[in-house]
Structure 1
Amino acid sequence: MYNLLIVDDEPLILESLYHMLVKKYGDKFLVYQAPSADGALEQFRNIRVDLLMTDIRMPGMDGLSLVRIVEKEWPDCLTVFLTGHSEFEYARQAVSGRTIGYVLKLDGDRAIEKIMDKAYDRLEREYEEKSRFLKMSASWQEAVPLLRQDILKQMITTEKWTEDKKRSLSHKIQASGMELSLEKNFLIAIISMPPTETQHQVRNRTAALPPIETPHQARNQTAALPATEEETDGGNVWNAVAMSRIQSAIMESLKGAFRAYSAAVSTHLFLLLAQSEDNRPLRLKGFLEIALSMCERMDLKPPQIYLYEEQTALEGLTGAFSVLGRKRFELTGEGGIILCGLDAMLSDYTWREEGPVMGRFNVEKLSESLSYGNAADFRTVMEEVKQNTPEDNPAAQIAVYTTFASLLLQAILNYLPKESVLLTHRNLGQIANYSAHRGFLDACRCLEGLADDYFRSREAVHDNSDHYIVHKVNAYIMQHLAEDLSMTTIGEVVGLHPSYLSRLYKKVTNLSLGQYITARRLDLARELLADPCLRTQNIAERTGLNTASYFTHFFKKNTGMTPQEYRNQLIEGIPWQNG
């Protein structure tokens, strides 16, 4: 939705144009008005104006002088000139690159609609071009880190790569600006953050220090502790800061030698993927040792790095990541680099080879789909996980089921109102107990039914909310017909952006807000005109149309007769009675 500012020093013309444009273009423009060029400049300072419709001849600063200022200070604004017959040639000469054209005041609504349609089309084209440019500039750059993280997660969680999946991944890599080749092998490592003391641990350790002898010493020791109790759950805040600094040190050390990219896997772990012409793991190990030295110089406790000792193709990344994860639990250290490989089994443990059943990535996608009410995404992930769950592994099946059940129950409690009866008609014991079902597929069907009901309930809540908003808007309009009923004012009442409110109202009622306001004002006008003692000016004020002349124009345009003609018609229909 765009902002339109009308400028004219004649009140009748200004009001008439305002109401006509609100009625006709209320779903495309937020309409503002100003009675002078100075008033228009004040509006420009408070709002972004996309289209200026201004009279040329005005007292004080004229329209041409106004437009010269606007084109200099707000160069994106388009202009439409309003002119009289005597100014026709004058207006024609004033047309510039940002001027849509000019319209004669006496040409009527159709001429104004024609030039408004032209202006709207121009704005749409220009904003489309701007959006394309922004995708390649600042806004796009902000999205790149998230896209890269999503790419790396996909590379270590996808077990079966089809040609379509590879092609899609290749497009993502190209769009993100990553210099990775899917045809070449990768080097992979995981970096585990060192444990960090919490505030509680620091305070306990400090309490064990020798007594402080002087107030000066007391002030210094207290100042060394964090000032707030923000962090009491295991050091997450501190680890996040340390992790960021360590990650930066590692990536800086690899710059120029490797095409390397990293992504957080958890609050204590991040993934590293790298490629180079000399793609040897031992060469990468040497550069990572430099990074650890840098961490020590920065007074950071060095992380533990688990480096896969072989190059691996795209299809092998999931297996390599699984090996590194196992070694992280088998082998711990005080900071250093451990080479890990399939043949370097340093313990007698045997591990299952099917990999993680659910995986953090799928859990995140499921949680997001439930949060946003996206049924299609939820069903896609659930179907994929079901297909990848081993038929001969009951423990894996139970893990999948309980994860799905937990996420669904949390969503029902978090995103449906208390009045929802979704759980009251369900056997909660059956939902919580996997053994109550006749196998894995039967258990999943139970959850799929619950998920379908959940998404239907989310949709119903959304629809009910929309109808409630429309009801609130209609009630406000009926109580404030004599006041300003611009889209901006009504949007503030219900707490919605005017453009969103406009679309919502049209979707629910199949009417624009302007049409509803016009209908209600006409109803009130007819009711008031039935009282012969009320003056036209008084009726105009009570219907929010301000002046008798504009009320007359409004009433005739929408009914085909003047207010007086309507009154006469009412009088003629009443039988004459002698007092």
Structure 2
Amino acid sequence: MYRLLIVDNEPKIVKGLQQLFEEEQGLLELEVYRAFSAHEALECLERIKIDIILSDIRMPGMDGLELHRQVMLRWPRCRVIFLSGYDDFRYAQAALRQGGVDYILKTDGDEAIIHAVERAADDLSKQLETERWVKSAAEQFQESLPMLRKEYITALLRGENKASQARLDELGIPLLTEQKVLMVVGRVDCWRDDISLTDRTLLSYAVQNMAEELFRRKHLYSLMPEPSRFVWLLQSGTELAAGAVPEKPDALARFVQGTLESIQAACKTWLKVTISFATASDPSEWGALPAKYAELNDVLFHGLGEGVEMLLTDRYLAATGKADKSIYELLARSKLQQLLALEPEGSKEARQAFTVTYLQLKELSLHCRNEMEVLSEIYYGVGFLLISLTNRNRNGQAARDSSDYKWPSLGDHSTWEQTLAYLDNRLERWIYLREGNREENTHSIIGQLKTHIADHLDQDLSLSRLSEIVYLNPSYLSRLFKQHTGVGLLEYTTSMRMLKAQDLLSHSVLKIHEIAARVGFDSANYFGRFFKKETGMTPQEYRDRKR
């Protein structure tokens, strides 16, 4: 549906055109507004977005040409159709030069005016398909590539999807799925207090640039989860020349470890920051990257890894007797942190991501039945999250339900399967409260709208006006109302006006023009035509039949 604004300093013309387009609602989906001067039109444009303007070109004060210039400053995609009572070539030429969609004479008749508006609406629809928009989308895709690469590799490291060579190529990531990957995880140990957030980001990029330079003969993808952390994925470089001696299996790992020493020294000397790294001792298959990522994070952020300017490998765990940590334990802890970082009360996609992550965490936890520390972290971590989510959605009777505040200890459950079943029940309780809260809010909005419409049938009941009352976007409000009532908002408003008109015709002595005003029609003639279109009878015929 498009919004049409009719502008003319002659009220009869404005009202006549408004009636014309409202009678054409079956052919043109338009929400019609009106203004009796250019200044009044600008006031309307300050409040709402207008798609098409049908304006007189000669008006006192500000004329149509100046109005068009002002419109372009506010809504550049708006289409302006100029109306004129004079066949003035100079005005027509000036109007079209400014970008007006059409220039027609008032004497051309209703059909010409309707066709002009149809062409403007069609032009708006086609604009989204033009080459300019496609080119713009391609440019935006190029600009968003760094973020898309980060999202894709992050999802791989979380085990959310599998590596695809086609996707790597599309994103311009210089890695091959047919080769194993050697992973490095790094961090800036600490920042001086006098280094701003902007400078921290710049220094972090400097570290990445240094890595790209020193590893230029290798395939490298560098990921920066946050300004003080790095994840580097490396593979051997170009194919060997004919007759060249192949690299030994541990050659890449030895080269990376030696290069990391150089990066640490350079950062300390030139950037005045100390860097710590944890690196894999061997390349990993792509499917094993999530486990390796969790393992290297455990190395870098716990125990000896908490020191300064550390350079550790995953073999450190074996050397310190901590290699008994299972891959499932590492993955479960990583998945728990991922779950706790999600905000599941936003979009549908956010809720789906939360559900998928929760199910993945449950599956991983089944492999950690003997790891009570891990199970405790999962149980109480998920528990605190669900209590917080539940509290946000408590209202009415739910707010008085004390069972939501109780949380048994882990030892109160006989088995881990029972524990998971309890977590499932609490998750379902939150979903129930969330859906109930949403439905309650929706019913409240629909009820508020219906009450306002019933009490203000003689006033402005346009979609934009109704959206201002409930503080919602007009398009969203229109969809919401139809979704929950089965009828469109315009259709509902019209039916309420007709019901009220029929009641007044049957049970009051008001005159026809008085009834027309009571139900929001400026003209008794227009009311009569509209009423007959809806009921098949004129207002007087309806009154006579009911009496």
TM-score greater than 0.5 by the shorter chain: yes
Offset at 1:550? Answer: 3.8
Distance 1:29 1:534, change over 3 A: closer
CA distance in structure 2 between the aligned counterparts of 1:545 and 1:525, rounded to whole angstroms: 11
CA distance in structure 1 between the aligned counterparts of 2:83 and 2:19, rounded to whole angstroms: 16
CA distance in structure 2 between the aligned counterparts of 1:29 and 1:555, rounded to whole angstroms: 19
| Residues 71-94 of structure 1 deviation map (CA, whole Å, 9 limit, x = unaligned) | 99977444668899x99xx99xx9
- Structure 1 window deviating more from structure 2 (346-355 vs 52-61): it is 52-61
Q: 2:305 touches 2:312 (CA, 8 Å); kept in 1?
A: no
Offset at 1:560? Answer: 3.9
Q: Which amino acid aligns with 1:364?
A: Q
Identical positions, percent: 26
1:364 to 330, 333, 338: 338
Q: Counterpart in 2 of 1:32?
A: 33
CA distance in structure 2 between the aligned counterparts of 1:72 and 1:405, rounded to whole angstroms: 53
Q: Which amino acid aligns with 2:370?
A: N
| Residues 472-529 of structure 1 deviation map (CA, whole Å, 9 limit, x = unaligned) | 1122223333322221121111110111111111111222222222233334444555
CA distance in structure 2 between the aligned counterparts of 1:348 and 1:327, rounded to whole angstroms: 12
Matches within 5 A, 1:78-89: 78=79
Q: Counterpart in 1 of 2:241?
A: none
Q: Counterpart in 2 of 1:251?
A: 208
Q: Counterpart in 1 of 2:484?
A: 508
| Residues 139-172 of structure 1 deviation map (CA, whole Å, 9 limit, x = unaligned) | x46754443333333333339xxxx8233xx454
CA distance in structure 1 between the aligned counterparts of 2:137 and 2:537, rounded to whole angstroms: 53
1:405 to 383, 386, 394: 383
Q: 1:309 touches 1:340 (CA, 8 Å); kept in 2?
A: yes
SS of the equivalent of 1:189 reads strand
Q: Counterpart in 2 of 1:193?
A: 188
Task: Say whether residues 1:180 and 2:154 are aligned partners.
Answer: no
CA distance in structure 2 between the aligned counterparts of 1:359 and 1:444, rounded to whole angstroms: 16
Q: Counterpart in 1 of 2:325?
A: 352
Q: Counterpart in 1 of 2:138?
A: 136
SS of the equivalent of 1:471 reads helix
CA distance in structure 2 between the aligned counterparts of 1:477 and 1:59, rounded to whole angstroms: 36
Offset at 1:187? Answer: 3.7
Question: Over aligned residue pairs, what C-alpha RMSD do you find?
Answer: 4.8
Offset at 1:337? Answer: 5.3
CA distance in structure 2 between the aligned counterparts of 1:83 and 1:197, rounded to whole angstroms: 70
Distance 1:307 1:245, change over 3 A: farther
Q: Counterpart in 2 of 1:301?
A: 273
**TM-score, with length taken from structure 2:** 0.74
Distance 1:119 1:358, change over 3 A: farther
Q: 1:307 touches 1:337 (CA, 8 Å); kept in 2?
A: no
CA distance in structure 1 between the aligned counterparts of 2:282 and 2:402, rounded to whole angstroms: 55
CA distance in structure 2 between the aligned counterparts of 1:52 and 1:117, rounded to whole angstroms: 12
Distance 1:366 1:123, change over 3 A: farther
Q: 1:239 touches 1:268 (CA, 8 Å); kept in 2?
A: no
| Residues 158-197 of structure 1 deviation map (CA, whole Å, 9 limit, x = unaligned) | 39xxxx8233xx4543454433322334342222332457
Matches within 5 A, 1:409-420: 409-417=387-395, 419-420=397-398
Q: Which amino acid aligns with 1:347?
A: T
SS of the equivalent of 1:123 reads helix
Q: 2:101 touches 2:120 (CA, 8 Å); kept in 1?
A: no
Task: Say whether residues 1:325 and 2:302 are aligned partners.
Answer: no
Stretches of structure 2 lacking an aligned partner (at least 5 in a row): 239-250
Q: Counterpart in 2 of 1:428?
A: 406
Q: Counterpart in 1 of 2:149?
A: 148
Distance 1:441 1:74, change over 3 A: closer
CA distance in structure 2 between the aligned counterparts of 1:194 and 1:428, rounded to whole angstroms: 41
1:470 to 436, 441, 446: 446
Q: Which amino acid aligns with 1:244?
A: T
**TM-score, with length taken from structure 1:** 0.71
Task: Say whether residues 1:261 and 2:237 are aligned partners.
Answer: no
Matches within 5 A, 1:217-228: none
Distance 1:292 1:564, change over 3 A: same
Q: 1:6 touches 1:34 (CA, 8 Å); kept in 2?
A: yes
Q: How many residues align?
A: 518
1:440 to 411, 416, 420: 416
Offset at 1:469? Answer: 0.4
CA distance in structure 1 between the aligned counterparts of 2:62 and 2:47, rounded to whole angstroms: 20
Q: Which amino acid aligns with 1:415?
A: N
CA distance in structure 1 between the aligned counterparts of 2:27 and 2:70, rounded to whole angstroms: 27
Offset at 1:244? Answer: 2.3
Q: 2:290 touches 2:331 (CA, 8 Å); kept in 1?
A: no
Q: 1:373 touches 1:455 (CA, 8 Å); kept in 2?
A: no
- Structure 1 window deviating more from structure 2 (478-487 vs 65-74): it is 65-74
Q: Which amino acid aligns with 2:206?
A: A
1:342 to 315, 318, 323: 315
SS of the equivalent of 1:511 reads coil
2:163 to 134, 147, 166: 166
CA distance in structure 2 between the aligned counterparts of 1:525 and 1:353, rounded to whole angstroms: 76
Stretches of structure 1 lacking an aligned partner (at least 5 in a row): 199-223, 225-237, 574-579
Distance 1:35 1:352, change over 3 A: same
Distance 1:300 1:158, change over 3 A: same
CA distance in structure 2 between the aligned counterparts of 1:26 and 1:400, rounded to whole angstroms: 59
Matches within 5 A, 1:310-321: 310-321=282-293
CA distance in structure 2 between the aligned counterparts of 1:104 and 1:422, rounded to whole angstroms: 67
Q: Which amino acid aligns with 2:406?
A: L
